[in-house]
Amino acid sequence: MNEPVIDLTAIGAVVFDTDGVVTDTVRGHAAAWKHVFDAFLRGRSEPFDLRGDYLRHVDGRPRLDGVRTFLASRGITLPEGAADDPPGAPTVHGLGLAKDQVFLGEVDKYGVAAFPATVALLHELRRRGARTAGVSASLHGRRLVGAAGVTHLFDVLVDGADAALMNLPGKPDPALLLEAVRRLALPAPRAAVVEAALPGIEAGRRGGFGLVVAVGRDGSGLPHGADVVLADLGDLTVRGRVLPLTS
C-alpha cells in the first residue's frame, strides 16, 4: 500500500461513506441486525455472527440487499413482501423494517457521534479548497449526519432515499458514489473515496476514482482494491491545495 496521503494538486474532492467513516453507527447497525436475525433464525440456523456475517453480507449494502444477501448465505429464501409489512414479518421487507425500527430506537435514545479524526480531516480538506460529499446506503443517511451535527461540512449528501428515488443500484455498484461526484461537477478520477466496508471499496475501484482509502477502525485492515489502508483517518496526511481544472 502507498503512503497515506491525499494530494490536493491531483484530487479536488473527497467522498465519504458516512456510516462508520463519519458517524459512529456501525456498532448500532450490527447490533440491530443481530437482534433481528437471531430472532428469525432461532430453530432454523446458527446465530448471526457480528464479524463474519455482518462484514461479508450486510455491511455497506442497502438494507434490503443486506437481508437478501445474508439469507442467501444460509440457503434461506423469503418472499419480498412490501413496504407496509409489519416489522418482523417473515419477508425481506419485514426483516428490513424490524432492523430499521430497532436501530432508530437506539439512535433516538442515545444519539449519534461523529469521529473526531474525520471531523478534523473534513475541516482541513475544506480549508485547502477541496469539496466534500457524504454518501450512505441508508434511507436515514441525512438524518444521521444531521444528528451528529456535521451536515455543514459537506457540499453534497446522497443517501438511500436518493438511491430509491433515482433507482440507483446499491454498492458494490459505484452508482451512489458517481452520483455524488456528478453533483460536485468533478470527474471520478479527480476525486477520492473514503470507505469502511468492502462493497464500498469495490465500488470506489469500479467507479474509477483517483484514490480509494479504506479505514478499518478495528485495525483488521480492509484491503483489496484500496490504494491506502489505515486504522484511523488521523493517520492520513493532506498535502497541497486544490488547483483549477485544466484542459
Out of 57-66, 214-223, 226-235, pick the least confident: 214-223
Q: What is residue 222's predicted lDDT score, i.e. its pLDDT?
A: 53
The C-alpha atoms of residue 23 and residue 33 are separated, in whole angstroms, by: 18
- Please tell me the predicted confidence (pLDDT) of residue 94: 98
pLDDT of residue 51: 82
pLDDT at 83 over 90: yes
pLDDT at 42: 95
Instruction: State the average pLDDT over residues 18-32.
Output: 92
Q: Is the pLDDT of residue 219 over 50?
A: no
Q: pTM for this structure?
A: 0.83
Cell numbers standing for residue 9: 494538486
Question: What is the percentage of the chain residues whose pLDDT exceeds 90?
Answer: 78
Strand partners, 191: 13
Which pLDDT band, with edges at 50, 70 and 90, does 26 fall under? Answer: confident
- Mean pLDDT computed over 20-44: 93
- Type of residue numbered 24: D
Residue 1: predicted pLDDT = 46
Say whether pLDDT at 218 is over 80: no
> What is the overall mean pLDDT for the chain?
92
pLDDT tens, residue by residue, 166-201: 999 999 999 999 999 999 999 999 999 999 988 999
Q: State residue 223's pLDDT score.
A: 59
pLDDT value of residue 244: 66
pLDDT at 221 over 50: no
Domain borders along the chain are 5-25+112-239, 26-110
| Lowest-confidence segment of 16-20, 41-45, 224-228 by average pLDDT | 224-228
Q: Give the C-alpha distances (Å, rounded to integers) separating 178 from 36, 45, 83, 170, 219.
A: 32, 38, 27, 12, 28
Does 220 score more than 90 pLDDT?
no
Pick the CATH number of 5-25+112-239 from 3.30.428.10, 3.40.50.1000, 3.50.50.60, 3.40.50.920: 3.40.50.1000
Degrees to nearest 5, angle at CA 54 with 36 and 27: 75
The catalytic residues are 17, 19
Query: Quick one: what percent of the chain has pLDDT higher than 70?
Result: 94
pLDDT at 55: 87
CA gap 238, 128 in Å, rounded: 9
For residue 228 the three cell numbers come to 491506502
59-66 mean pLDDT? 90
- Residue 35: per-residue pLDDT: 96
Please report where in the chains the cell 488521523 appears, as a residue.
234
Q: In this predicted model, what pLDDT tens digit does every residue of 103-116 receive, in sequence order?
A: 999 998 889 999 99
